[in-house]
Structure 1
């Protein structure tokens, strides 16, 4: 087969929409990758596949730009004309295209970040920690700003709710392509063989095309733990200390790296993966123990290798860099404990005492990993003590750059990650605790389920004993509705260890999720801190306390507008109570990736929070494809951490707190009007007779349960006749698949219409950060929706009243958002984001048309036993593809 020319294989991107809107280098990347994909489809697909893909591609582009019913019908007819086998291949082709475009976008982001960092004359980014410190200093003075910087805390918590539909094999192929794209850049700059780089990419794209896109079975919780470990190993282990270094460089200037850093480690990592058992029967005490062991193995291996590398560089002779008395004493202690190691270290470092010390420290870290009781470190503090002895000796001997260079990075890593890597948190439903306590009070034998609940507390105690108290101990109580729900955790811990036993050290964290629970939160907190167990823990932690807020369940409960307002009010009241009670509050935000689950840019959301609700501490959940989008690449991870930490630091600036407080007061009446109107509109939909089964009919909600996304069931055991126990994730995910994104915006149009004053709403958009964040996030959600395709999904349910209600609200909301923001359409004020959405939308449309066809066939109920699996597969392929196209789906 002859090779396609660039013109013939222009790819699946099309010259029309790519020509003037993409950055030049990214446009070249997308065209090259698309051309290679086109070649793969011709070579490896069945005869005529490339031409069929092109026909559908061109038709959906025409329908997207034309917007006439005729153009849309032409595209739909093409999608409906394919055989089931051809539709399968076409869906896979468009999905691979999205993977390629996503990696090209990511590569462009990395390219821009690296080019910016490579310009020595550049000033620090306006949204960096260094810039935030300068601004804060101008308001509160250098000493106070430094105090706040050194108390800064950003705490992302990774969770196992993977709405990202791609397999690890697919992710691995994409990561290899990212590396090849970097090599291709180097070949263009260095004049190397460009053809060779493209040939290797062609091979990888062919592999990606041939790789089965769907998992054969759901991952186990342990599989999920290992998947998250890849992010820690490949990115965060080195990226986090590099963030600290970058901030210290900016603040200390030329002196950085030659004296004690002013930055203290401000990142703490958390994880629910292997610990979150709320509604997930597959997460057991055994799984939690394994999760802790896997994480410890990874971090201890990393620390061991780092210590070994540093040892190899510390070739400083004793006559040029004499050891301190403390270092000499340390060497004696280490040598006495490890005679074999001491002999080897003496041979490798005869006149290099600092190197010898680091070699022996590396051996002790290895012994800690092996659980060698005679040689291992009991806890990270002992390792830090030894490393600081080496550091102080180097500094005293006139070698400050060695003291505060790579050795400082290792110190930061130990301070950040300990011996546990990420703080493992347990979550369980309050109703489960109540059931176990009732069984225990009855005096009979406990059920297997109750025994498992108690075993969790014994496991937490074991993890703390082995890896230190930071390794585990936070215990989240979902659906907290009273102080008794929190007291129950301490009671269960005592029952678990028995009379005379020592319960684990626990920080019990309430999770307020529903609208009613959010309103009751301040009163519950005021009551619970009087309880002896909580009062004692407050005393031990210098009056530190965490409260978790659920974004997604509150949104499903009262709608996104009322939920946002309720969350703001709850935060304001809890923060005010904490201030009065002298409590150092950390609010833990249960945000997902999708806008209906609190998603959207974190830094702008942080700067819109009520006064004293941040105070230099911010904790949030990170999940699904968001984990890999934000933390999968080192450059992007560093930028994300820097941006969010900057917002956390700046949120406590008097000007920011005053702005938010005054705006909330100024627009209180607007908030009241919007709250009532949006809630009434939301209830008119979700409380309508037959809504739940209608929702299951017009979206692929039930079929999503067939997709092997994660270990957690989609529902808490009830049928779709009730939405109360439907998890928020499939609720949001299903609406996004149907191209409606209802969970992110429904009710806002009615709320804005109830206010009715466009000038007032425009002023609110300019002056009220919370309102601006809501409007901007809804704009993104609406831009990814499509009214014409949404109507086809809604018509599957044979309820024109509900379909008209949804479409009418969609149109009303779009109209108001565009009028408030200005411009000629959605996202007019965010051209980069608008460009990304426009680039993807026609191709998402193609997959949506294929998904609609599969849904119609499945809903008709006329398929034979042989046909059913084929149509289910097509549906799941389209779900995977749409997820890749929309990106923030969960």
Structure 2
């Protein structure tokens, strides 16, 4: 472990230990240490697992809860220390050497320029990155815990900055205070979240990070394009980031997301972005103290101020009095006042649209440039222009999602002409709210309507017909098919062909320059086909849709419905982009950012900037001919091999989940039923009341397997697939060549390796035994052994994650401590599955179970 990271982990761990003694006496710390040493010994083969279980079983439930809480808080502190080390490393890389940092925007620009020459400008012009935040319930931490961790983070940063002796002592005192507060804070939610809670939680990432980081990223790109000119000329970097949100708009299976919630979600977003724009505009205005003698205003700026004096003399009088002979400053301060009026809905003074605000900002900018003050024109003022262009007055483009079956039912009722059900009225009210949002904030604020489980073009036509039934109040819609199951993915080109015959779709294609969006679901396809076959089916679909778009002169954007976990399409974003089918990126990448991933990627300015730069880098590189040609050649060469792997992997996966009684066994060996009590989101775990796997959402499916340390959705079936083409490892040459040459195959194996590294066979076996189905336990563990052995053989690694030192260190650091929480969870789960009659004891066991679930999620940095 690098020494700075070791120092931070030891400091925070020692402070937590002191806090435990203050709270529960030396005996509490001793029990924590006994378990810590026991699980480390078990990892080394020095302590039998039965001894660890006996230690945990010997404690009272109260003591077990305290120990579980201690390990959970330790994980939060360790995660924080690692985040600080990442930031420290990023800073060091940023100042080391003359070469661009690998994965940066500058590195991509340099590579694209070398590969394409004069086509660089074309590549940048077409660049788009659209991250879409979703409220999928995978953030196990409650907001009070997140903010407490943030305060500790700020103090650790101040401590690492090297304060003086007296300040150092005060920071350490405050650190101890905050760690004690975190220890005493309930780690899981006591009340169920509602959708607007989720909206407000996501706003923290926008307020604290994204709003400030976006112009820095554009500046980085502008500097890479022209290092000498940036800040003294009109920018060459155009705003290519467009944030979206499903939070408050995704109603598929969530009865708590209503038309009223959707309306309120947009208003909350608007309030946050207008406050941010007002504050920024006022700050830039206050600082722009150029005098009219040194920097004479343009005629356009004089006329704009004159019109303002006529229209709103009382609003501008104080500004003119405080800033005499500073017309540029006057107009910006007036603009800030108008932004505030927009937020307060003062129609007389408010801006009608973001375009009106941009017109004022550009009047100031052009006047400054004409007067020779180019640094003032294209410095901080340009960054404000970029923020308005990116966020508008709505902040993120709210997207609606609903299940195809409900649209079909609603249309039947409307066509029948009788009374409408509550659900049909709600669907129509949602469409009315979309129209209202468009009238208030513009079409861009909300126009995408995603149809989950799209099976035919009729599913798309149904939404257009429902909207048309509103007459003059119909909103402008881009209705987006979401293909989720294996069959639907295979059928996607046929559905799109049918969409071209829908008049409303034809009209939108004309209005948008023949742009079309299609969403691909990673979660349900993986739950249905297994991770290996789902990966290849998605690749095939991308390839087929790209070819279809080319034949029909369509500019296609593929929207990737990835989760944070490996079992739901997660993993490093840059590597995933480079593994896409050739031609399917074409400078555009849209992806869901879910649950804990939002704060992991966007919770700190430097990490957010690094993440966006890595995605930008990958999108630019993946769109070059050289990268696409290499990927295409490898795919052509190794696809027959991959098909054999896929067939065998899918057969193994389906054989397991189709075993009689599998769903009941899964529910018994995992905390599946109890996860709903974590209250980590507003959405139910199932789409319907049925108890089978079909209606179980992919998030609890993955979350529950993660808790058992099996991590089955990330690797199951791959071992059988590799064995089928290699003679169980007798001939690995073809697989090894595919791993070296084909980005898709390399990503598939690397992700499986990561998932295997976070699992633990010994502990997993204890969970699986709870189901009392030894044949299923044996099947799962045999596939685990086969997959681990063959993945290591193909990659040439002697141990898992051998070539990924940072990730390997993080996993190895955490695994023993996750083991401790797993043993605590097993104690509770074993007792609950055996049946507990005493209600008070059952409540304590459930509390211990849920506390340990929260802790394992923190330790593995992954839920669903």
Rounded Cα–Cα distance in structure 2 between residues aligned with 1:354 and 1:386: 10
Q: Partner of 1:137 in structure 2?
A: 113
In 2, the alpha carbon distance for the partners of 1:44 and 1:397 equals 66
Q: Distance in 1 between matches of 2:106 and 2:548?
A: 31
- Report deviation, 1:73: 1.8
Residues 834-869 of structure 1: CA deviation (Å, up to 9, x unaligned): 110000000000000111111111101133112111
Q: Deviations over 1:504-528 (max 9, x none)?
A: 1111110000000000001111110
The aligned residue for residue 14 of structure 1 is none
Is 2:247 the partner of 1:273? Answer: yes
Distance, in Å, in 1 between the alignment partners of 2:348 and 2:126 is: 36
- Alignment map for 1:457-476 (pairs within 5 Å): 457-476=431-450
Q: Contact conserved, 1:124 with 1:250, CA < 8 A, in 2?
A: no
CA distance in structure 2 between the aligned counterparts of 1:333 and 1:811, rounded to whole angstroms: 76
1:410 paired with 2:381, answer no
Q: In the alignment, what sits opposite 1:420?
A: 394
Aligned to 2:55: 78
Residue 14 of structure 2 corresponds to residue 38 of structure 1: no
Aligned-residue Cα RMSD (Å) equals 1.1
State the match for 2:711 in structure 1: 741
Answer yes or no: is the 8 Å Cα contact 2:140–2:863 preserved in 1. Answer: no
What 5-or-longer segments of structure 2 have no aligned partner? none
1:52 aligns with 2:31: yes
Given that 1:187 and 1:197 are in contact with CA atoms closer than 8 Å, whether structure 2 keeps it comes out as no
Match of 1:172 in 2: 147
How do 1:864-875 residues align onto structure 2 when only pairs under 5 Å count? Answer: 864-875=838-849
669-678 vs 334-343, which moves further: 334-343
| Residue equivalent to 1:13 | none
Q: How many residues align?
A: 860
- Output the CA distance in 1 between the equivalents of 2:835 and 2:137: 30
Q: 2:125 aligns with which of 141, 147, 150?
A: 150
Cα drift, residue 889 of structure 1: 2.2
Unaligned runs of 5+ in 1: 1-21
Partner of residue 314 from structure 2, selected from 329, 340, 360: 340
In the alignment, what sits opposite 1:183? 158
Distance 1:30 1:361 in 2: 48
Alignment of 1:149-548 (within 5 A): 149-187=124-162, 193-495=167-469, 497-498=470-471, 501-548=472-519
CA contact (8 A) 2:137 2:699 kept: no
Deviation at 1:172, TM superposition (A): 0.5
- Mapped to 2, the partners of 1:336 and 1:844 lie a distance apart of 68
CA distance in 2, matches of 1:804, 1:71: 21
Q: What does residue 652 of structure 2 align with?
A: 681
Q: Does 1:876 align with 2:850?
A: yes
Contact persistence 1:311–1:359 (CA under 8 A):
yes
Indicate the residue corresponding to 1:580 in structure 2. Answer: 551
Q: Distance in 2 between matches of 1:300 and 1:241?
A: 16
C-alpha separation in 1, matches of 2:319 and 2:553: 52
The Cα shift of 1:191 comes to 5.3
1:109 aligns with 2:109: no
The aligned counterpart of 1:11 is: none
Offset at residue 799 of structure 1 (A):
0.6
Q: In the aligned structure 1, how far is the partner of 2:638 from the partner of 2:166? A: 61
Q: Is the 8 A contact 1:116 1:122 kept in 2?
A: no
**Moved >4 Å (runs of 4+):** none
State the alpha-carbon separation in 1 of the partners of residues 105 and 280 from structure 2. 26
SS of the residue corresponding to residue 620 of structure 1 reads strand
- Quote the residue 2:70 is aligned against: 93
1:703-751 deviations in Å (ceiling 9; x for gaps): 101111100000112232x110000000000000000010111000000
Counterpart for residue 754 of structure 2:
780
- Residues 715 and 727, structure 1, Cα contact 8 Å, conserved in 2: yes
Q: Distance in 2 between matches of 1:367 and 1:670?
A: 63
1:151-179 per-residue CA deviation (whole Å, 9 max, x = no partner) reads 21100000001322111111000000110
Per-residue deviation, residues 366-385 of structure 1 (Å, max 9, x unmatched)? 11111111221111111111
Displacement, 1:46? Answer: 5.2
Alignment partner of 1:755 is 2:725: yes
1:771 to 2:745 alignment: yes
Cα deviation 1:527-579 (Å, max 9, x = unaligned): 10221100110110011110000001000011110000000000000011111
* Cα contact 1:614–1:651 (8 A) shared by 2: yes
Q: Which moved more, 1:454-463 or 1:337-346?
A: 337-346
Deviations 1:7-29 (A, max 9, x none): xxxxxxxxxxxxxxx11101000
- Which residue number corresponds to residue 26 of structure 1? 5
Q: 1:631 aligns with which of 585, 599, 602?
A: 602
- Give the drift of 1:47: 5.6
Alpha-carbon spacing, 1:611–1:823, altered in 2? closer, same or farther (3 Å): closer
The TM-score, its normalising length taken from structure 1, stands at 0.96
Match of 1:557 in 2: 528
TM-score w.r.t. length of structure 2: 0.98
Alignment match of 1:837 (pick from 811, 814, 817)? 811
Q: Structure 2 CA distance, aligned partners of 1:358 and 1:335?
A: 14
2:677 paired with 1:701: no
Report SS of the residue matched to 1:158. strand
Deviation at 1:587, TM superposition (A): 0.3
- The Cα of 1:115 is off from its aligned counterpart by 3.1
- Between the aligned partners of 1:545 and 1:717, the Cα distance in structure 2 is 31
For residues 332 and 124 of structure 1, the distance between their equivalents in structure 2, rounded to whole angstroms, comes to 48
1:454 partner SS: helix
Conserved? CA contact 1:857–1:863, under 8 Å = no
CA apart distance, 1:440 = 1.3
For 1:572-629, what per-residue CA distance to the aligned partner results, in whole angstroms no more than 9, with x for missing partners? 0001111111111110000010000000001011011112100000000001111000
